[in-house]
Each structure stands twice: as C-alpha cells, then as structure tokens.
C-alpha cells in the first residue's frame, strides 16, 4: 500500500531550518517567558498615548520591541505544529503562543482609540515636534482613517481578549481536517491500495484511468459527507462572527469591513466578480476542450482536473524544479535571482508530505527571521508551480523587510498574491522558451491554463459563494449544510456549465479552508490579473519595468494596496487587468487547441 511517511523518515536536507529561529524548544520557552514578562510594560502607557510626541514615540518603539520578539515566539510554535498536527506538545506550544499574542493585543488595545483623539492638525504638530515620528506617518494616518470604526478602549480590550474565541471555528476546522480526518483508501489501476489525502487528492484526479478518478472522487467526498454537520456548523459560526464583528465596528456588511482594513474599495471586488461573470464563455471553452481531449460525451466532476493531454505528465523532481524556478526569475534582476537561490540553499523549504503534516502550502516567517515555505511536494508540474508561487511570497517578504521599518514591512494579501503569481507566470514563459521536451512543454502550457482556471475563475467563484453566504446571515436567514450545498452547487453549475457535476461536488465547500479567512480569496483572482500585466511589461520593457516591480515589492505596507500596485504600472480599480488576463488565457487556449488538434 502506498502510504505517507512519518516525519522522521524524511532527509533533513528537505526540512526547513527552524533552529535558526530558536536553537531548541528550551530556547523558545525562555523567549516566551521573556516576552511574557514585558507585556505589562505596554499597559503602563494607557491614558498617556497623546500626552507628548516623545511619549508616543516611546510607546511605538516599545510596541515594536515586544511584538517583534512575540512574532518569533509565535511563528516557531506554529511552524512546529504544522510539521505534525498530531504532536500534542507542539499544539500546546502553538496555543500558548496564540494566547500570548491575544494577551499582548489586549494590553495595548487602548492605543488606537487614544490615537484617534488626535486631530489631523495635532498629529501634524506631533510630527514636526518629534522628527523620529515621521517614519510612522502612514501608520498614524491609517489609524485616524479607521476612527469611525474603532470602539472605546474598553470595548477594544474586550474584542482583543475574545480573539482566541472568535478564531475557534477556523482552528477546530483545521484540527478536524488535518489531524483527525482520513479520506479513504482506493485501489489504483495496478491493484495497489492508495491512501487519499488532502495533499494528493488533486494529483489522483489527474490519473488517466477515468474509473479510478471516479472512485477517488466519490470516496473522498463520501468522507466529507460524514462530517458535513460539523463542518457546516463551524463555517456558519465563522460567518456569524464576521457579520457580528462588522456590526460592532459600524459597518453595513462583513465584506465592507474586511476590505476596509486594507482600504480596498468594495467596487474592486464587484468589478472582479462582474467582469469574470461576463467572461464565463472562455472558461466554458476550456471545459469543452477537456471533454474533446478526453474523448467523452460529457465532462464530469472527476474530469475537471484532468490535463488536456489526457495523462499525468512527466515527473518533476524537487531539485529539478528548484533549478527551473531560479532560472525563470532572471528577468527580475541578478540580485533577486541570487537571493532566492541562497534562500533555497539555506533550507527555506519544508518539502515533502509526512503523516500529520498540515495540508497545502504557505510561506511564513517574521521580520527577524528568514522566510519558511511549507510544501507537500508531489514530484509533478503542479508542485513545481506551487514552489514558484510560495517563493514569490518569500522574496516579497525579504525585499520589503530590507527596505521598510518593521511597522511598514508587512504587506496586504491584495499585493502578496501578485508577487506569487508573477513567479508562476515567469516560470511558464521560461519553460516554454527553453524546454525542448514536447511532452513537458505541453504539460507546462496545460498547467498554466489550469492555474488561470483555478485562480482567476475558481477563486472568483469562491468569492461569490463567500459573499452569498454572508449576505444570507446578514439577512437573518439560516445557513445550514443543505443551504451551503445548494448555494455551492448552483455556482459550480454556472461556472462549469458544459459539465455534468455529481459525485459529491456540492460538498466541495467543506474542503476550502479559505472560507474561514473573511473575504480573502478574491485577492487570488486580482493577483493573477495584475501579475499577468506586470510580466508582460517586464518581458517587453526589460529592466525599467523590472525595477518598477521590485519597487512595488520593496514598498511592503508603506502605502495602501492600490497605490502600491500602481508603482508597477497597474490600475486595479479598472477592469482592464482582468479583461487582459482573460485575453491571455484565451490565447493560450488557442495555442493548446492547435497543438493538440482539439478544434
């Protein structure tokens, strides 16, 4: 039986180097106690925030000292817990770190309400009287911007204290799906038993044997059917928390509250959804090409991930993927390329799946650590693209951290998802230009089309689902598993109109953790749209456009997202980047259709 290895069976060279954060768990514990002992220092400034420019500067510098060390404590614990979600010691460490973060947030919850007592004129006087405050100007102006939605110091403290409780649905969901659930075992075409996991499900859905794909699909979603009430309740409670929190802060909707935190107009979200909805014919064309490529009368749910080539494609081992990804980013400049190569040599990446490891992939770290990338690498083209994606996030963090002070280095997700997809797009161009193996070239083209499908269209579908279920709660209506199934199935049917969707696909919402992240997913779709436009500029104009893009990355969170993206020459308030991205997608469909003689 093909099974997932234990972590101890994986070579150290393919595990991330967390010892560079803390040498061992004892060092972590000492750091935890040290930062815990400093939290009371934060409370000493309550009621004094605006007594003088010097006092304000002292508090902001103290806040930075405490939270920078706290971030290291938290990230170490969380990354250790992600290595094996069954490890109770590391789960306890992660929970303790989360509690400490809540305690620290509560201790300084008075900061924004007190700052908001300042007028713009008084703030200008503070900045003139204490030149060192100038570096905090964007932060201070943003705090004043949020004044209508900030409650009293007492209420803010209560909300901070409740953060552990309000995050419970997401944490419970994570433990259920990563640590407790199993997803079934099926017999592959060679008669060998294969364990289905969240990490390998998509790859198994690309197996050329259609009956095997059907068994995998139905077995997988049958497991989700057994927990639909639990998952449905957890998602319903998460949505209600989003709606309640928005109401507490005097927003009309949860969506408005979520987007206002990064100062992204709701119109940007609506423009994305409306523009993609008008372009669904292009997605339907992709589905029809898949049906023709597979030689079937009707495309079904278990066919959606299939390659247009009809097979799984060549293996791409991790070391080969690393080489190609490094080569691909050459248009972004020598320094960018060398920094990425050095990071990979320094064990930024935890490469392979192990039993109990958190599913999916992410890039993490803090201002004072190297980036850390979690992968569940599957030796395929898709995994190579995921590596490129996460390294885009890591390089964004590196460049922003170098260029910005701590309080301006953290960037919004809206910008982050551009950095990740620029790398994917560059990888596509590089491989199509340099690889001679026609089979691999075809699969690269197909993979990029799949990335467009799953990022631009699928994530916009997710965004629409998320909006609809929040609107239902805001209207005082029930949000049951049946309602979630029906809402999701209706949307899936619209987006994949040429297909006959069955086999439990209406329960797909259960396996999407991003629905707990409060209007997060739309940024994947805006990100790929901006990325496509940026790469076109870089490849056409060369170093000047690459320099503009690097400036965007270096800006971090020093300005609002739309203004940061504009540094790279892209206007995300307009539908133009989205329409352009769909046009690129359609052009690639033309290319693959001609290559495979499908039309």
Residue 323 lies in a domain: no
Residues 51 and 80 in one domain: yes
Residues 146 and 131 in one domain: yes
Residues 70 and 176 in one domain: no
- Among the candidates 112, 131, 166, a domain finishes at 166
372-394 confidence digits (pLDDT tens): 999 999 999 989 999 999 999 99
- Listed in sequence order, the residues at least 6 apart from 174 whose beta carbon sits closer than 8 Å to its beta carbon are 85, 358, 513
Residues 585 and 506 in one domain: yes
pLDDT at residue 256 greater than cutoff 60: yes
How far is 86 from 175, CA to CA, in rounded Å? 9
Name the residue with tokens 């420019």.
53
279-303 confidence digits (pLDDT tens): 999 999 999 999 999 999 999 999 9
> Which domain CATH number covers 55?
1.20.140.70
11-34 confidence digits (pLDDT tens): 999 999 999 999 999 999 999 999
Contact 404, 555 (CB under 8 A): yes
Any idea which residues carry the catalytic annotation?
Answer: 390
Give pLDDT, residue 2: 60
Residues 177 and 136 in one domain: no
Residues 147 and 39 in one domain: yes
Residues 481 and 583 in one domain: yes
Residue 212 lies in a domain: no
Residues 432 and 575 in one domain: yes
Residue 537 lies in a domain: yes
80-137 confidence digits (pLDDT tens): 999 999 999 999 999 999 999 999 999 999 999 999 999 999 999 999 999 999 999 9
pLDDT at residue 313 greater than cutoff 80: no
Residue 113 lies in a domain: yes
Residue 316 lies in a domain: no
Reduce the DSSP state of residue 187 to 3 states and report it.
strand
Contact 510, 236 (CB under 8 A): no
Residue 366: CA count within 13 A, CB half-sphere? 20
> Which domain CATH number covers 544?
1.10.1370.20
- Among the candidates 166, 193, 216, a domain finishes at 166
Domain span at residue 286 reads 169-185+228-308+413-599
Task: Provide the terminal-to-terminal Cα distance of the chain, rounded to the nearest Å.
Answer: 41
Residues 117 and 235 in one domain: no
Contact 67, 139 (CB under 8 A): no
Reduce the DSSP state of residue 311 to 3 states and report it.
coil
Residues 20 and 62 in one domain: yes
How far is 350 from 361, CA to CA, in rounded Å? 10
Give pLDDT, residue 105: 94
How far is 528 from 422, CA to CA, in rounded Å? 8
Residue 84 lies in a domain: yes
Contact 437, 314 (CB under 8 A): yes
Residues 61 and 177 in one domain: no
For the whole model, what pTM was predicted? Answer: 0.85
The per-residue pLDDT of the chain, averaged, comes to 94
Selection from 416, 419, 406, 394 nearest residue 339 by Cα = 394
- CB contact burial 36-66 (16+ within 10 A = b; e otherwise): beebeebeebbeebbeebeebbebbebbeeb
Selection from 68, 132, 70 nearest residue 96 by Cα = 70
How far is 172 from 156, CA to CA, in rounded Å? 25
- Listed in sequence order, the residues at least 6 apart from 97 whose beta carbon sits closer than 8 Å to its beta carbon are 32, 73, 74, 76, 77, 78
- Work out the average pLDDT over 455-476: 97
How far is 287 from 493, CA to CA, in rounded Å? 12
Residue 215 lies in a domain: no
- As for how many domains the chain has, the answer is 2
Residue 363 lies in a domain: no
Residues 140 and 253 in one domain: no
Whole-Å CA distances, 465 to 6, 461, 462, 485, 548: 37, 6, 5, 11, 35
199-223 confidence digits (pLDDT tens): 899 989 999 999 999 999 999 999 9
Contact 267, 260 (CB under 8 A): no
């Amino acid at each position: 039986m093909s099974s997932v290895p234990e972590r101890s069976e994986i070579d150290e060279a393919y595990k991330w180097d967390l010892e560079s954060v803390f040498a061992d768990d004892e060092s972590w514990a000492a750091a935890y106690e040290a930062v815990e002992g400093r939290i009371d220092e934060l409370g000493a400034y309550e009621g004094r925030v605006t007594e003088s420019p010097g006092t304000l500067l002292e508090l902001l510098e103290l806040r930075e000292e405490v939270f920078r060390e706290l971030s290291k404590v938290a990230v170490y614990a969380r990354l250790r817990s992600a290595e094996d979600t069954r490890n109770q010691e590391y789960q306890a460490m992660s929970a303790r770190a989360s509690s400490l973060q809540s305690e620290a947030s509560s201790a300084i919850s008075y900061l924004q309400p007190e700052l908001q007592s300042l007028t713009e004129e008084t703030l200008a006087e503070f900045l003139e009287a204490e030149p060192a405050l100038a570096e905090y100007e964007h932060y201070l102006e943003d705090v004043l911007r949020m004044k209508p939605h900030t409650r009293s110091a007492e209420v803010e403290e209560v909300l901070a204290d409740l953060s552990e409780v309000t995050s419970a649905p997401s944490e419970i969901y994570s433990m259920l799906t990563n640590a407790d659930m199993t997803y079934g075992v099926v017999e592959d075409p060679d008669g060998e038993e294969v364990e289905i996991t969240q990490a390998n499900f998509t790859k198994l859905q690309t197996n050329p044997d259609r009956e095997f794909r059907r068994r995998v699909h139905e077995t997988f979603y049958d497991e989700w059917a057994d927990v639909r009430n639990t998952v449905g309740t957890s998602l319903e409670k998460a949505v209600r928390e989003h709606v309640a929190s928005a109401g507490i802060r005097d927003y009309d909707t949860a969506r408005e509250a979520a987007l206002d935190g990064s100062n992204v107009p709701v119109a940007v979200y609506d423009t994305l959804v409306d523009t993609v909805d008008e372009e669904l014919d292009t997605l339907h064309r992709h589905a029809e090409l898949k049906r023709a490529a597979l030689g079937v009368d009707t495309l079904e749910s278990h066919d959606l991930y299939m390659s247009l080539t009809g097979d799984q494609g060549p293996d791409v081992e991790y070391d080969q993927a690393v080489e190609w990804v490094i080569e691909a980013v050459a248009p972004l400049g020598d320094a960018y390329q060398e920094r990425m190569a050095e990071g990979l040599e320094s064990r930024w990446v935890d490469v392979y799946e192990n039993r109990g490891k958190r599913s999916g992939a992410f890039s993490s770290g803090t201002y004072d650590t190297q980036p850390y990338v979690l992968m569940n690498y599957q030796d395929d083209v898709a995994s190579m693209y995921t590596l490129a994606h996460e390294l885009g996030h890591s390089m964004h963090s590196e460049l922003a951290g170098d260029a910005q002070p701590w309080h301006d280095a953290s960037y919004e997700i809206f910008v982050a998802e551009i950095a990740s997809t620029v790398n994917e797009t560059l990888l596509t161009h590089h491989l199509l230009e340099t690889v001679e193996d026609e089979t691999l070239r075809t699969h690269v083209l197909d993979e990029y089309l799949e990335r467009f499908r799953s990022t631009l269209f699928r994530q916009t579908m997710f965004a629409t689902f998320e909006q609809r279920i929040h609107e239902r709660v805001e209207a005082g209506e029930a949000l049951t598993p049946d309602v979630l199934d029906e809402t999701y199935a209706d949307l899936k049917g619209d987006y994949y109109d040429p297909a006959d969707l069955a086999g439990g696909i209406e329960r797909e919402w259960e396996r999407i953790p991003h629905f707990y992240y409060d209007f997060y997913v739309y940024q994947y779709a805006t990100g790929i749209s901006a990325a496509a436009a940026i790469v076109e500029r870089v490849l056409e104009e060369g170093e000047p456009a690459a320099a503009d893009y690097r400036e965007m990355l270096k800006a971090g969170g020093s300005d609002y997202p739309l203004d940061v993206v504009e540094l790279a020459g892209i206007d995300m308030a307009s539908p133009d980047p989205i329409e352009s991205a769909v046009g690129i997608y359609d052009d690639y469909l033309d290319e693959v259709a001609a290559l495979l003689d499908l039309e």
